[in-house]
Structures are given as C-alpha cells and as structure tokens.
Structure 1
Amino acid sequence: MSDDDERSSIANSWFWSLCCRVLKAGHIPKHAAFIMDGNRRFAKKMQYERQQGHVLGFEKLAETLDWCLHLGIKEVTVYAFSVDNFKRSKEEVEGLMELARQKFSQVLQKREFIMKHGIRVRVLGDHSLLPKDVLEQVARVVTMSRDNNNAFLNVCFAYSSQHEMTEAVKRMATGIEEGLLQPSDITEDLLEQCLYTEDSPPPDLLIRTSGEVRLSDFLLWQSSYSCLSFQDVLWPEFSVWNLFSAILQYQKNYKSISEAKATFLTQRRNNQLEVDRNYLLQNDTSLAHPHELDTKISELEHTREKRQREFLAHLHHKQQTYLESFVH
C-alpha cells in the first residue's frame, strides 16, 4: 500500500470519522504549529543515512497536513529550517537545501490543487540567507498563492524567533529614520505587526516531537498563550493519535488559556493608555484642563494608528516587490 493509500484509508475509516466527530464536539484549534524534531535521531535509530531522516520528515509533514485539513485546522506553521541550522556540516546543509528545492518544486507542480482549494503558502524567515535558486522557488510559491485565503501553510525557513524580533526592531528603527514613524508610535502591537508572522494569528496549539520540552527559539513572541504539547515520539513516528492527544490537551485547557489571553490583552491595552497619558502630561503644553486628556489620548491614538498603517503598507509593498524581483 502506498503512503497516499494509507492516508486515505485512515481518513476514510469509520474509527477515524468517529474520533473526528468526538473532537469536533469541542474546540478545534484554528492554528496549529509544529516543531518537527527528531529526523536525525530517527535515521540513526533505523540505521538510515541522515538525509533519509529529513526526507521521511517531509513525508510526515504532508501526512500531518492532510490530517489537519480533515479536522478543520485551517492554518499550520512548521519549523522547517532554523537560522542555527546553517551551522551544521556543509554536507548536511547542502542536503537540506537540495531537499527544499525538491519540495518547493513539488509545490509548484501542484499549483492546480493549491489554487482549487485556496491554500496560501507563506515562507517565513530571513530570505536573504537562502541560496538564490532556492529563493527564486520560494518567491514563485509565495507569489502564486498570495491571494488565497481558505487555508494557510506557513513554512519557517531560515527562521529563529530572536532573529525575527531583532529584524522587527530594525524595521521600526528604519521607519523612524525615514520619517514614517515617530518614537511614540513604537508599541507592542506595532512590533507584532513587524514580525514575519504579521498576517497570522498566534497559534492556538504548539506541538513539539522527540521528547524535548523546549521551544528552541520558535515563535517565542507568538506562543505566549498557546497550548504547548510535547510528544515523546520522533517526528517521522508522529501519528494521528499523537495529534488527537494534543488536541484533547488543548480542549482540556481551552477555558483557562482563553481567560488568561483575554486578561493579557486587556492589560496590554491599559498599559498603552497609561503610557499615552504620561506622554501627554509631560509633553503637551496645550492641556488646559484635565478633562481634555481623554480627547487628546483619542487624537494621539488616531494619528499614531494612521502612521502605523502607512508604515506597514510601505513595509508590505517593499517585501512584496523584493520577492517579485526573483520571480521574473
């Protein structure tokens, strides 16, 4: 039986259907993220070549995406290649880049399927670190699917969270230097919009395989209120039952996580109001009466949001133009 046939038999089995119905009676995560750890260890365990472990890892990703689609998880983010992975041996890095070439090529060959199902593929990371031919494939994949909005696959490639946040700060600093932003425009909300994940909501569920219980510099900002599930299997061994287990864990903790997240967002809003209030009291000499403060805060928010929108539009256009230059 081929892998596709095996996936189809699982997806169409009565027991699969029953499990899906039971899970869907509760909250299904809209966005799931995966740290696909354990490919090299699996290869060593099975006495395969190291590269074969990575190949099997990519095959497991395709299978997992199929499960997520059937369950109604509309957005998936995967940690495919870390910035730190460039420090591995030259042979392994070249092997991973060759595998990326093959997989992005396969995605391009499935254009009809991707467009039919409205799948948007985003490749998140520092594109400048990629070999030119890989970047050209990335650009074609991203550009091809950028108007789709039915389902989303985010591939974190040449990515690390600390690198991402550093780049976001640099972007805002450049915005100030170019006169697009004022120092008072720098907020947590703006920094969030300057991350590689600007178009995505935070993951509801983050799964890491291989038994490791750390995030390894993956979505550190975005996963503050995600349900974390650490699965004690190597990534190529990850099964649909591991996925079901993680979703059940998410459902069990859904209420407490949702309440904590709502409290956090309220506190973030209140903190920003306090910052704005102190800023006006110290810098606005036109305040004649205390009751004018709320009006001034509203005006400050309006002008700040306008500059932020224009800055983000400028940033988006710049990034889009950069990728399009590699398509042509």
Structure 2
Amino acid sequence: MLLQLISHSLGWLSAQVSAKAQDALIAVLSSGPVPQHVAFILDGNRRYARSKNMQIKEGHTDGFYTLRKMLEVCIHMNVRCVTAYTFSIENFKRSPAEVDALMDLAEEKLLELCQKGDILDKYGIKLVVVGHRDMLPERVKAAAEKAEEMTKNNDRAIFNLCMPYTSRDEIATAVQSTIHERLDEDADDTVTADDIEAHLMTSLSGSPPLDILVRTSGVKRLSDYLLWQCSEDTQLQFSSTYWPEFGMWDFVPIILDYQRKVWSKA
C-alpha cells in the first residue's frame, strides 16, 4: 500500500514537473514568430496499434487523444487555426468493421468536444467539419452539426476537422460553386484563382493561409490533403513518429525550423 502511494506520488510529481517544463517551453517558443495555421495528417494509427498488439480501434482512439493534446499545445502557442485530416473519402474503402468503428468514434468524440467545459468551450475554439458531410451516417452528421452550432460564436481559434475529405473534391466543389454563383448573378464569366480560393471549404470557415503541414509516421506524401492551400508558402514537415505517439518534443523542432525560415526571410 505504501509503495503504491509512493509510486502514485512520484508519478504525479513527474507529471507536474513535465507540465511546467512544457509551459515554459511554449512561452519561449511563443516569443518568436508563431504560425497562424497548422495542419496535421494523422498517420500511423493502425501501425501503432499493431506494434502494441492493440485493436485498430484503440489506435484510432489514442490518436484522438493526441489530437486533443496537440490542439491544446497550439492554442497555448497562440496558433490561430488547426486543421486535422481525420477521415478521407477514400477511407470508406476500408473494411466495414473499421469504417463503422471510426464512425462510432467520430460521433462519440464530436459530442464530447462540444460539451460545456470541454476543450472547445474552455479555450473559445470554433469547430468546423470540412468535407462531404452528406457522406456521413446521419448520427455522425447530427453530432457534427451540434458541435458546430454550440461553438459557432467562439472566436479565439478555429479547429477544422476534415471528414470525409479529399483536396481534389474540395477544389472541384469550389469551382462548381464559383460557376453557379456567376450564373446566378449573371456576372462576368471569367473565373480566377482568387475566386476558387474564396470558395474553398477552409476559406469558408475563415481559416488563415496555411503555414505548416505536418505528416507523421514517416510517410512523405500529401495523400490528397490541402493541395491548393499548401501550394505556395506552406512548410511541409514529415515526422517518423506514429501519430498516437506524437507529442511536444516532436513538435518543437518543427516550430523552431519554421521560426528559423521566417527569420531568414526578414
């Protein structure tokens, strides 16, 4: 009993020291140039689960908690917008059991996120579901709409959840919307890049330009994610860490590299 108490106390003390060290580090990083928009490709949940002899669903669940953690780190660093690739349209091709498990997780966590006192309410974050939401099961769509409605007046930061999403679909939808708008208004039929950009789903959510895109798990490709948004000044960063294990110490070098490149342009 005494050993358990000592072990618990040491664990608690270690967590407190670690939390204070992280807060101090965030304060230092925040004194330099801070990205306004950071996007993540949450890659490696399944490989992480296999490496731990866990069920795939457990890997996705751990990945969600990492997403919460990194959202909180970004908010403390005064990042204005965080965008996460949580479910591709292509993911519907996975096994029905895995898709159902992911939809269950999405419904559960969307409802959890929008609760009073939870992370979105606590920090004043507006949640936006970006993608072809008509492809979602009704229960998940309802949870998404509830989360958006409850956070719509939050104005400290934006949290874009891309689900179900692909960038080519987003661009095609933006082109269609631009053309329909021209036809409805009987306006000039010239379509510019600025017109299309204004109709992108991330633009409609009010997201600032994308500064950093991070992909985990060692894979170095964009997988049809934010192709338009990262085509100009976005810094692409690839981490070998599986997403559920990604943390502050993986993120620090990415922020430092961003700051170094910003300072080099000054």
Whether these two folds match at TM > 0.5 is yes
Cα distance in 2 for residues equivalent to 1:18 and 1:75: 22
Q: Is the 8 A contact 2:114 2:121 kept in 1?
A: no
Which of the numbers 166, 174, 178 marks the counterpart of 2:180? 174
Residue 201 of structure 2 corresponds to: 196
Q: 1:246 to 1:183 in 2, by over 3 A?
A: same
1:220 Cα deviation from its structure 2 partner: 0.7
1:32 counterpart = 2:54: no
Alignment correspondent of 1:213: 220
In 2, the alpha carbon distance for the partners of 1:26 and 1:113 equals 25
What CA distance in whole angstroms lies between the structure 2 residues aligned with 1:7 and 1:91?
Answer: 39
- What SS does the aligned partner of 1:165 have? helix
Higher relative contact order (CA 8 A, sep 6+): 2
Alignment of 1:101-180 (within 5 A): 101-110=107-116, 114-115=120-121, 117-180=123-186
Measured after TM superposition, the shift of residue 117 of structure 1 is 3.2
C-alpha separation between the residues in 2 aligned to 1:135 and 1:6? Answer: 42
Q: Name the counterpart of 1:228.
A: 236
* Counterpart residue number, 1:247: 255
Return the offset for 1:180: 4.9
Q: Please report the TM-score for the alignment, with normalisation by the length of structure 1.
A: 0.72
Letter in 2 for 1:213: K
TM-score, length of structure 2 as denominator length = 0.88
Q: SS of the counterpart of 2:174?
A: helix
State the Cα distance separating 1:91 from its structure 2 match: 0.8
Q: SS at the partner of 2:213?
A: strand
Q: CA separation in 1, counterparts of 2:124 and 2:44? A: 31
Residue 116 of structure 1 and its aligned partner are, at CA, apart by: 5.1
- Give yes or no for the alignment of 1:59 onto 2:50: no
Residue 6 of structure 1: CA displacement? 9.4
- Structural mapping, 1:238-317, within 5 Å: 238-255=246-263
What is the alpha-carbon distance in structure 2 between the residues aligned to residue 187 and residue 30 of structure 1?
Answer: 25
Greater Rg by CA:
1
Using the TM superposition, give the Cα deviation of residue 237 of structure 1 relative to its aligned residue in structure 2, in angstroms. 1.0
Q: Aligned equivalents of 1:9 and 1:176: distance in 2? A: 57
SS in 2 for 1:212: coil
- Give the deviation of 1:10 after TM superposition: 6.0
Structure 2 counterpart of 1:110, one-letter code: K
Q: Aligned equivalents of 1:7 and 1:97: distance in 2? A: 36
Aligned partners of 1:34, 1:253: CA distance in 2, in Å?
20
Q: Structure 1's 177 and 215: CA in aligned 2 closer, same or farther, altered over 3 A?
A: same
Question: Which one-letter code corresponds to 1:189 in the other structure?
Answer: D
Q: Give, as a single letter, the amino acid of the residue that structure 2 aligns with 1:214.
A: R
Q: Is residue 21 from structure 1 mapped to residue 27 from structure 2 by the alignment?
A: yes
How far is 1:122 from its partner?
0.7
C-alpha RMSD of matched pairs (Å): 2.2
Moved over 4 A (4+): 5-8
Secondary structure of 1:56's counterpart equals helix
Q: Which moved more, 1:196-205 or 1:16-25?
A: 16-25
Q: Which range moves more in the overlay, 162-171 or 22-31? A: 22-31
Structure 1 runs not aligned, ≥5 long: 260-328
CA separation of 1:69/1:192 partners in 2, compared to 1, >3 Å: closer, same or farther?
A: same
SS at match of 2:222: coil
Q: Which has more helix, going by share of residues? A: 1
Q: 1:112 to 1:11 in 2, by over 3 A?
A: same
Which SS does the other structure have where 1:203 is aligned?
A: coil
Q: Distance in 2 between matches of 1:102 and 1:133?
A: 10
What fraction of aligned residue pairs are identical, expressed as a percent?
Answer: 37
Kept after mapping to 2: 8 A contact 1:11/1:67:
no
The answer to whether the 8 Å contact 1:33/1:205 transfers is yes
Matched residue count = 253
2:83 alignment partner in structure 1: 77
What is the CA-CA distance between 1:22 and the residue it aligns to? 3.0
Residues in 1 aligned to 2:108 and 2:46: alpha-carbon distance in whole angstroms: 19
